[in-house]
Amino acid sequence: MGINFKQLKKLNEGKTKVIYENPSDKKTVYMRFKDDITAGDGVKHDIIEGKALVDWKTNRDIFEYLNRCGVRTHYLSSPEEKVSIVKKLDLKINLEVVTRRVATGSILHWGGETEGKRYDPLITQFHYKDDFLHDPLLDESYIDFIVHKKNGTEYKQMRELNADTFIHLEKAFAHFKIQLVDMKLEYGIIDGRVYLIDEITGGSFRLWPYAKDEPNLKQDNVLAELNSSGRLDKDTYRMGEDLEKVKSKFEAIAMITDKFKDVSI
Ligand SMILES: Nc1ncnc2c1ncn2[C@@H]1O[C@H](COP(=O)(O)OP(=O)(O)O)[C@@H](O)[C@H]1O
Ligand SMILES: [Mg+2]
């Protein structure tokens, strides 16, 4: 049986999910995961059969953990495989918010940053979400300007919510000897407040396993403490690994987040 999506109005379709109306509760929507995987602002694109199921599990376990931590998220429940119910967004904040604990990826090209440098406090980048423009980085005062134009105080709320989310997830992965290196999140307004929205799956972050039993993660550079070639994330796809290998990494993530329900808060 299950939910008959053919009868439901499609509200939005993105690269990895389809959003459908929920006729029995207009304040919520269905979020249905797809098998698609993309990189480079959608230029690289493939279908990995079974990816939707794996992402749905990861997303469910992460959001249920964050809700337990008291983070304000849109996530409500997961009524059937590949489908979640979330609070319907009133206003989208067109930002991709990138948070970094350890330097790697694009930041190495910008400032001559050394790979493995540890940021404490975390650093946060606000990118305008637009594939065509390649998600340009925005100046902080400009974001403040946009937010105030909308008569909101959301920017400050969003910053706090974002740091809390990162720290909660970093702690959870640490139980499994994995470092949350960096992460990309999205936010929106529901009932006048900022909520963490969208998805958190293997494509949302970089995860590097610890290289030793008791790594020293408080030093200025932690590259030698972590096993970056054992990475469990979408970088395998960006680097051109075969799709089965990519899928197995996403499955490994889902096996870890499955255990988040046992992590005490
Ligand atoms: N709580 C929500 N209510 C309504 N729409 C949402 C909610 N959370 C996420 N969305 C929307 O779902 C759409 C599909 O997501 P996704 O496939 O990730 O798109 P994209 O390709 O833009 O990254 C996006 O437009 C996103 O803003
Ligand atoms: Mg997305």
Q: How far is the CA of 27 from the centre of ligand 2 (A)?
A: 21
Report whether 159 contacts 185 (CB < 8 A): no
Task: Please check the confidence at residue 1 and state whether its pLDDT lies above 80.
Answer: no
Q: How far is the CA of 195 from the centre of ligand 2 (A)?
A: 15
Burial per residue of 105-144, b for 16 or more beta-carbon CB atoms within 10 angstroms, e otherwise: bebeeeeebeebbbbeeeebbbbbbeeeeebeebeeeebe
pTM of the predicted protein model: 0.95
CA 81 to chain centre: 19
Mean pLDDT of 5-22: 97
Task: Please check the confidence at residue 240 and state whether its pLDDT lies above 90.
Answer: yes
Ligand 1 shell residues, CB under 6 Å: 12, 14-17, 19, 29, 74, 86-89, 92, 197-198
Q: CA-to-CA distance for 91 and 76, rounded, in angstroms?
A: 18
202-216 pLDDT, tens per residue?
Answer: 999 999 999 999 999
Mean pLDDT of 250-260: 98
Domains defined for the chain, CATH in brackets: 5-87 (3.30.200.20), 93-242 (3.30.470.20)
pLDDT in the model for residue 152: 66
Residue 60 pLDDT class (50, 70, 90 cuts): very high
pLDDT in the model for residue 229: 93
Taking CA atoms only, the protein residue closest to ligand 1 atom 19 is 14
22, 82, 87, 89, best to mutate for ligand 1 pocket (most atoms within 8 Å of CB): 89
Mean pLDDT of 170-189: 97
Residue 154 pLDDT class (50, 70, 90 cuts): confident
Mean pLDDT of 97-123: 93
Q: How far is the CA of 34 from the centre of ligand 1 (A)?
A: 12
Mean pLDDT of 59-76: 98
Q: How much of the chain exceeds pLDDT 70, in percent?
A: 98
pLDDT in the model for residue 141: 79
pLDDT in the model for residue 151: 62
Q: How far is the CA of 13 from the centre of ligand 1 (A)?
A: 7
Taking CA atoms only, the protein residue closest to ligand 1 atom 11 is 198
pLDDT in the model for residue 198: 97
pLDDT in the model for residue 75: 98
What single letter denotes the amino acid at residue 118?
A: R
pLDDT in the model for residue 150: 64
23 Cβ contact list (under 8 Å, min separation 6): 8
20-31 pLDDT, tens per residue?
Answer: 999 999 999 999
The residues pairing with 221 across neighbouring beta strands, listed in sequence order, are: 117
